[in-house]
């Protein structure tokens, strides 16, 4: 069952919270079409998420040689055996996480930095871990250069999480573990939510784990997905 955030956001409130949209660029129409045809048409309607996806320059988070495909309805390679997720999957996982402005989020698998850039505009701070040194460094430089000052990038093993900054209001995992590491569940705050693709090979499901205020866990699957495996070294 796909659960949606109970919060509603008016257009005026979004503009006030997120600030003015950046100046149009050569890809503005492609972003508009991406949101309209790939995301809204598939049931993502939370207005602040749509606003962020319409304005975040996804093309700057893909290799220059495939930049013209940045807004296609598919995942794309970014090097080191990693990919940038399909726009709809980014939107869906963001929606399932139900991010709020006061929240601190942990992301496992920085990749290109695009998902972190999206979440940075919807939350207080994003802590993101990337196991591949080259991707960690390039994403750190890119996010800083684009002005995402509320994102902290660490190169390391995502299975360990980020214990010194825990607990987190939300955790998002962008590579597939065979099962959700207990360390990440332990670092999730009560009342928080974890979103991850779980499983091996073709047998993966996008999974949500909610930690209730009493500490009890509620787990449900949303849809079959295919992500690169989550690495531990």
In the residue annotation, 41 being an active-site residue is answered as: no
For the chain, the farthest-separated pair of C-alpha atoms sits apart, in whole angstroms, at 50
CA 1 from chain centre, in angstroms, equals 20
Which residue among the candidates 85, 112, 138, 139 is catalytic per the annotation? Answer: 85
**In DSSP terms, which residues pair with 188 in a beta bridge?**
168
Give phi and psi for 218, each to the nearest 5. -120, 125
Three-state secondary-structure class, residue 133: helix
Q: Where does 37-187 show beta strands of DSSP type E? A: 76-79, 82-84, 104-108, 125-130, 151-155, 168-173
* Residues acting as catalytic residues: 85
């Amino acid at each position: 069952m796909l659960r949606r955030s109970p919060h509603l956001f008016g257009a005026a409130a979004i503009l006030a919270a997120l600030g003015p949209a950046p100046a149009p660029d050569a890809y503005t129409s492609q972003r508009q079409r991406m949101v309209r045809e790939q995301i809204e048409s598939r049931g993502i309607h939370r207005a602040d998420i749509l606003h962020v996806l319409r304005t975040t320059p996804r093309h700057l988070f893909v290799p220059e040689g495939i930049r013209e495909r940045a807004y296609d309805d598919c995942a794309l390679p970014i090097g080191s055996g990693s990919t940038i997720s399909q726009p709809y999957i980014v939107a869906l996982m963001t929606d399932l996480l139900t991010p709020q402005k006061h929240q601190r989020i942990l992301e496992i698998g920085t990749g290109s930095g695009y998902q972190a850039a999206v979440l940075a505009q919807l939350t207080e701070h994003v802590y993101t871990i990337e196991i591949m040194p080259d991707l960690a460094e390039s994403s750190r430089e890119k996010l800083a250069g684009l002005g995402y000052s509320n994102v902290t990038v660490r190169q390391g093993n995502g299975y360990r999480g980020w214990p010194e900054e825990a607990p987190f209001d939300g955790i998002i995992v962008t590579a597939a573990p065979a099962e959700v590491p207990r360390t990440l569940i332990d670092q999730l705050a009560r009342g928080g939510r974890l979103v991850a693709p779980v499983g091996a090979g073709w047998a993966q499901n996008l999974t949500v784990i909610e930690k209730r205020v009493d500490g009890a866990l509620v787990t449900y699957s949303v849809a079959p997905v295919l992500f690169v495996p989550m690495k531990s070294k």
